[in-house]
Chains A and B, each alone.
Chain A
């Protein structure tokens, strides 16, 4: 248990570091030196030292947004079996619970954005509400597939111990579809290129960033930390699938897991470096691709899983 809690804490604490890896990869491709790997810790420290500014037209909802989005993200991490170790909390059906926990976080971010009554934030909220609906369908398809393969519906059943290796042995190559689909979901849910551009300063093109324009200081710090944790959760998903091996030695397991997570982050950085962002009306097609892939994977796999 203590080990699980330690791993959970480690995940939250290291999430900003991993996010900085993306910046480094992008800087490498852009021919720049790039920011230090600890940049996000400096930024968080700076934000938490500041004060917050609240518009007089906002209500309690606006202040709740950052708290809830961080709260849900780190609670979701509680259910994830880090490095194949048992998670802090687990129950049957927690996979569904985790998805809706993240949904709750999004709901409050959207509500906080709407609360400002800014046309920009309303626009961002509309986009943020639209694209994840399609992601949700894909995520459910993934759950259905994994349920068929394991007969259980909890993240610990999916990802702990040697289970991910079992996926590969029963489902075989269609698992590659699942990984690609999950990667697309990761890019969409975490506002990365080619769906959103985290580096842009143009309000009209933003999705996630524009919703948090009015948050400042510690509130913005909470949002950032929540975003890092969420990205870590999705990366951990994929990391466990691409690297489903377990040794007996815990330190070795953690090192391997960290390396796999790092690989996912580098892949995100690569995608952001080599391709442009999609036009807003093409994004749904891109996200739907993930659904199609998992759907095919499910159809193909059902035969084997009988």
Chain B
């Protein structure tokens, strides 16, 4: 082993020729070694190389590491050794028809035909309605009953199917089937005209618009050598933090609502709106759409807007902290949150949980601190790890992060910000290159990965939403938990359906 996985930087382009290329055995051996020793999978996918396919893996330890290998038609599943690869191998099987032999749970991910037109790994006929031929995991016995929820839900939420195997009120197993919103985002990004890409990225998941457009912008900037001025970086940081606060505050309200604790539910709903309105002031869109573009931002932060934001934050900060205190100091709420839906740290490690869900299980990883982009390198991001892994921990991480983000924005707004606005400049991309961008979206590590071909066109575009890691965390949380606590647990994870479905 003279060569190993190559360290790369977040958001920096690297020539494909510089990425080490191994034989499959060597590749698998090294990747498994890294992940078994505490590494995590950031990206693992197959991309076209000539008329063949190649695997590319991006792993993270304290740095980002990457390597490639030739993809065979079948190979021994890495999941059999390392659970971290589980969904990635299923995704590869679905997208390319490459079979991971001995995969413990080879099931479709999003229910669509593979892009190569080879035989389907799962034997599905895609003319049939989802989930096609799939038999759900079943438990038998006299006292066992099965509850199926969705894909059409009572509230205004996205479609997903949840299958519970229960004994009385206790859940033995929860199986989650998604894919109802699969739109083919990755091929769409591949084909789209350059100036349309940001719009598609912003629509991957409506509540993560800023983080997705930021990932795209950083990747394009790295590939085309576009400079971004310091002011734009500050504004983007503010945009991303506003998105985080609005969603966390909304989640805290929803958690409170799910335990029928009324007042915080109402107040959080209103305050979420107040934070969304700050994004509105910043860029004319409540969800931060249209703020970030490759090369910078489309809207300047004038002193008028800056002062208004400072005033609004000053007004809201005590309110948010008061409502958070109310939630966490009410004993009946604590009794619902504490010990509910516990995920152990070792399970969280194996599943590779990210974001607040991972931090609630004691995994301190935060992309803002570990792989800082934009203005985060100059900021002090605390660890926020909780030990208990229950609903309480997930709520607590959100509450802490909300207050921290408010303080971050306060400090960023203290000084005037100067920037040069951009609007859809298109520079040619560096040919034969790879770039991986990672940002801490409010749900956790969001990553985009772009490969270019020899003419500088995009060869492969890969998106990985944090929910891709975390949905199985929800399944684990529900084991041996009362079925009536499912909505509470679901809210405490609050994962993205469309971000997962792509």
Contact = CB atoms under 8 A, between A and B. Distances in A.
> Do A and B associate with each other?
yes
Contact of B335 (A29, A122, A205, A282): A282
A205 B262 contact: no
B383 interface: no
Interface residues of B, number: 33
Contacts of A282: 335
B199 interface: no
Interface string A25-43: 0100111100000000000
Given A119-B146, A194-B260, A204-B486, A276 B333 contact: yes
Contact of B332 (A123, A194, A280): A194
B302 interface: no
B262 A277 contact: no
A120 interface: yes
Contacts of A29: 262-263
Nearest to B486: A204
B260 A200 contact: yes
Given A203-B154, A272-B262, A279 B487 contact: no
A278 B261 CA distance: 11
Contacts of A280: 169, 482, 484-485
Contacts of B263: 29-31, 273
B211 interface: no
A279 B333 CA distance: 10
Most buried by B among A119, A122, A197, A204: A204
Given A30-B266, A203-B154, A279 B485 contact: yes
A201 interface: yes
Nearest to A195: B260
B330 interface: yes
Given A119-B146, A204-B149, A281-B169, A276 B261 contact: yes
B457 interface: no
Interface in B477-502: 482-488
A281 to B, nearest CB: 6
Contacts of B487: 200, 202, 204-205
Contacts of B154: 201-203
Given A197-B260, A280-B482, A275 B145 contact: no
A251 interface: no
A279 B484 CA distance: 8
A26 B260 CA distance: 11
Contacts of A279: 335-336, 340, 482, 484-485
Contact of A119 (B148, B169, B333): B148
Contacts of B486: 204-205
Contacts of B270: 31
A281 B481 CA distance: 11
A205 B484 CA distance: 4
Contacts of B330: 275-276
B482 A26 contact: no
B25 to A, nearest CB: 47
Contacts of B333: 276
A273 B262 contact: yes
B139 interface: no
Interface string B200-211: 000000000000
Given A205-B484, A277-B336, A199 B260 contact: yes
B155 A276 contact: no
A275 B261 contact: yes
Interface in A30-72: 30-32
A123 B483 contact: yes
B267 interface: yes
A193 interface: yes
A199 B482 CA distance: 20
Interface residues of A, number: 30
A281 B260 contact: no
Contacts of B169: 280-281
A201 B257 CA distance: 10
A121 B147 CA distance: 11
Contact of B262 (A26, A120, A204): A26
Contacts of B482: 279-281
B258 interface: yes
Nearest to B487: A202
Nearest to A199: B260
A191 B270 CA distance: 28
A238 B256 CA distance: 30
Most buried by A among B267, B340, B485: B485
Contacts of A197: 260
B265 interface: yes
A212 to B, nearest CB: 14
B259 interface: yes
Nearest to A194: B332
Contacts of A201: 154-155
Contact of A123 (B147, B261, B340): B147
Interface string B323-344: 0000000101101100010000
A257 B147 CA distance: 46
A184 B169 CA distance: 23
B146 A31 contact: no
A197 B332 CA distance: 14
Interface string A146-162: 00000000000000000
A264 to B, nearest CB: 19
Contacts of A123: 147, 483
B253 to A, nearest CB: 11
A26 B168 CA distance: 33
Interface string A174-209: 000000000000000000011001011111110000
A55 to B, nearest CB: 16
Nearest to B166: A123
The 7 closest A-B pairs by CB, nearest first: A30-B266, A277-B260, A276-B261, A197-B260, A276-B259, A276-B332, A202-B487
27 contacts: A26-B262, A31-B266, A32-B266, A120-B147, A122-B145, A123-B147, A126-B168, A197-B260, A199-B260, A200-B260, A202-B487, A203-B149, A203-B154, A204-B483, A205-B488, A272-B262, A276-B256, A276-B260, A276-B261, A276-B332, A276-B336, A277-B261, A278-B336, A279-B482, A280-B482, A281-B169, A282-B335
Interface of B: 145-149, 154-155, 168-169, 256, 258-263, 265-267, 270, 330, 332-333, 335-336, 340, 482-488
